[in-house]
Structure 1
Amino acid sequence: MAPRLKAGTHPVPFSVVRMVVKVAALLLVCVAVASGLPHGGKPGQLRARTNSVPNRARAFQHLVLPQQPRRNISGTKRVEGCGVAPLAPSKESRLYGGRDAVPHQYPWNVVVWMDHAYWCGGVLISDEWVMTSGGCVQGSGLIQVLFGAHNRDQWEESQVTYETDEYYVHEDIDYPEIFDNDIAVIKLRQPIGFNDYIQPVCLPSYSDAADSANFVDIFVTATGWGADTHGYHHALQYLDLKTISTQQCVDVYGSVITDIYLCTAGDRGVGGCNGDTGSPLNYVKDGTTYTRGIAVFWSAAGCGAGDPTGFTRVSKHLDWISEKTGIAIDP
């Protein structure tokens, strides 16, 4: 059994430090910055967000400045038929220790590329909006969202890529000091059509938010293209996990953890890892899938250390999501 961290040990993000992109003589130079040990109660062992993929990276011809999306009226837009995957198997039952998902079993999972330099995961929540980690997109210019992918590095007929520079990062984000309010929504320039390969996930309801303290010992499924001992995955991975209480997460990581995080047990040596940031935590209720978390950190002891994986708790940000996107939240 892998040793557990002592109380007070701090979590490390799946992807923390932005690659610095410089354009000179039409060359793109990416520098991944890594930090050292924890200091003053801050998360330690900062790591590069992801590796860039050479055949996708190219130099910028001009600087693209981020735009703020046009305001929507909060709670006016309903997302009908969310949380249903037409190509999902009837039932089967592994991220770090995960295994390949059935192609398009999770048609809301997307790849989010920032400035042609690095990527994170994300989740489609309507025909116009994608949700991800705020730390992933913060300060980005051009964003590309890849929909309908099973293999993120291989062209598939199901794939569609949209470009945008419109997004909101939570105003109270505290990244990378800690990961409070680590959430963002990305606005597509035009609505995307739904099909067997591209579908939105459902958001939690206000009733779910009111009962969030009891969302403990619940089976959930994390999905993403993150790394394990063999490196980054090309095919989408899934991993069955179980939620734990906030106090159980505090017992491992210390008082930096509050109920704005949702943690899952890592006692089988499995969990999220670098590259999974921004990817959803799926919860199925009555045959419909809801996203209850956005992946944001794992243990400094390593992805397979047996410590909890941390997610931004989506139910704590329903008002913010509705205000920015106009999506109606169920009672």
Structure 2
Amino acid sequence: MKILCALILFCVAVAGAAEAPKAIENGVYDYHRRIGIPKAFKIRKLESEMSAASSRIIGGSSTTIFSVPYQAGLILRISIFSSVCGGTLISDSRVLTAAHCYNDGNSIVSSIQVILGSSLLFSGGTRIDTNDIVLNPGYNPWIAANDIAVIRIPRVSFSLAIQPVILPSGSELNLNYAGNTALASGYGITRDGDSVSLLQTISSVNLQVITNAVCTNSYGNVIQSHHLCTSGAGRVGVCGGDTGGPLVTTVNNRRILIGVSSFTANSGCEAGLPSGFSRVTSFIPWIHSV
């Protein structure tokens, strides 16, 4: 009887895990095969063509690295392929990103190139090759749980184009930021199924943070306290190639990092559904320990 009960519980757990990616298919499990590798190919092609600029962040606009000097780009090697993600410089030797950028549950990255101080992903800036990455021990790609990681790099010199963002501290750790306007940025795509006619510069968009209760209406029990969501109203948000990147808001006249881009809806980036982030305040002790 004990064996039968254990088998039933195991089957239920597996079934639940198998259903989870359907809600968040564009974000975590098998990210590299579905999104990262195809987008890396497109971004490299688009940058080489240097045609008319547009945004990758959905509903946003092109910007420059000087507006978001904490923005990091990641070029990730998987076998013979390249994939892409975003990241955030949080000190002179640490970059915060999403855990699925390294291990999406199906593919594990063999090498990482961190790009700092460049408005383009495949050229310019400071480029650092590393394999030194620490994934949060609670990370689960099936349900986008604890989707956060720290990349350790040799110390970099700061400039107008390379500056760390501030992490929340003190009373900021107790805020849920619902109602705040926050800035998302990245090198990703403009729209679902974008064509090869856009220059891949950094893009950014202002998003409104919503409560987790509202986000649960779209994603159900996938949403946990360590998640943070932004509204997709007006078809704005993040999309393929932007995951791992920053969500920054202003508190007491200083910009602080409140989210690491994690997932979007499986119905597409322009579906008007919330964008999902890892809530930085939930991981501050762990981040400082790495």
- What's the TM-score, normalizing by structure 1? 0.70
* SS across alignment from 1:173: coil
Aligned-pair distance for 1:205? Answer: 1.2
Using the TM superposition, give the Cα deviation of residue 258 of structure 1 relative to its aligned residue in structure 2, in angstroms: 1.5
- Structure 2 match to 1:53: 41
Q: In 2, are the aligned partners of 1:9 and 1:253 still within 8 Å (CA)?
A: no
Question: 1:87: which partner in 2?
Answer: none
Partners of 1:194 and 1:275 lie apart in 2 by 25
Report the equivalent of 1:218. 180
Match of 2:23 in 1: 10
Identity across the alignment (%)? 30
**8 Å Cα contact 2:26-2:268 kept in structure 1:** no
**Residues 1:252 and 2:218 aligned together:** yes
2:210 & 2:216 partners in 1: Cα distance? 10
User: Which amino acid in the other structure matches residue 292 of structure 1?
Assistant: I
Give the Cα separation in 2 of the matches to 1:162 and 1:102: 20
Distance 2:248 2:88 in 1: 10
Q: After TM superposition, give the deviation of residue 117 of structure 1 in Å.
A: 1.5
What residue number does 2:109 align with?
A: 140
Moved more, 190-199 or 112-121: 112-121
Distance change in 2, residues 1:196/1:174 (3 Å): same
Aligned match of 2:166 in 202, 207, 220?
Answer: 202
- Tell me the amino acid that sits aligned with residue 23 of structure 2: H
Inter-partner Cα distance in structure 2 for 1:264 and 1:200: 23
Equivalence map 1:89-128=2 (5 Å) = 95-115=57-77, 117-128=82-93
Query: Given the alignment, which residue of 293, 300, 303 partners 2:266?
Result: 300
Please state how far the C-alpha of 1:228 moved relative to its aligned partner: 2.2
Q: Alpha carbons of 1:210 and 1:48: their partners in 2 closer, same or farther (altered >3 Å)?
A: same
Q: Is the 8 A contact 1:14 1:272 kept in 2?
A: no
Structure 2: distance between partners of 1:242 and 1:252: 16
Cα distance in 1 for residues equivalent to 2:230 and 2:277: 8
In structure 1, C-alpha distance between the alignment counterparts of 2:217 and 2:257, rounded to whole Å: 25
Instruction: Tell me the CA shift for residue 102 of structure 1.
Output: 3.7
Give 1:9 deviation, angstroms. Answer: 7.2
Letter in 1 for 2:244: G
Q: Hey, what's the Cα distance between the residues in 1 that align with 2:143 and 2:159?
A: 38
Counterpart residue number, 2:204: 238
Is the alpha carbon distance of 1:309 and 1:121 closer, same or farther for their aligned partners in structure 2, counting shifts above 3 Å? same
| Runs of 4+ off more than 6 Å | none
CA positional deviation for 1:14: 3.6
Find the residue that maps to 1:227 and give its secondary structure.
coil
Matched residues in 2 for 1:207 and 1:310: separation?
23
Counterpart residue type for residue 322 of structure 1:
H
What amino acid sits opposite 2:188 in the alignment? G
CA contact (8 A) 1:241 1:264 kept: yes
Unaligned runs of 5+ in 2: 1-20, 45-55
**Map of 2:137 onto structure 1:** 171
Contact between 1:15 and 1:274, CA under 8 Å: does it hold in 2?
Answer: no
Look up the match of 2:190. Answer: 228
Change (3 A) 1:130 1:103: closer
TM-aligned CA deviation for residue 16 of structure 1: 4.1
- Unaligned 5+ residue runs, structure 1? 1-7, 20-31, 33-46, 57-93, 325-331
Q: Is the 8 A contact 1:112 1:122 kept in 2?
A: yes
Give the count of matched residue pairs.
247
Look up the SS of the partner of 2:282 in the other structure: helix
- Is contact 2:257-2:280 (8 Å) kept? yes
If each structure's helix is expressed as a fraction of its own residues, which one has the higher value?
Answer: 2
Quote the Cα distance in structure 1 between the aligned partners of 2:145 and 2:172.
20
Structure-2 change in CA distance of 1:207 and 1:243 (3 Å) = same
1:287 deviates by: 3.3
**Which moves more between the two structures, 242-251 or 284-293?**
284-293
**What is the SS of the residue equivalent to 2:66?**
coil
Give 1:225 deviation, angstroms: 1.1
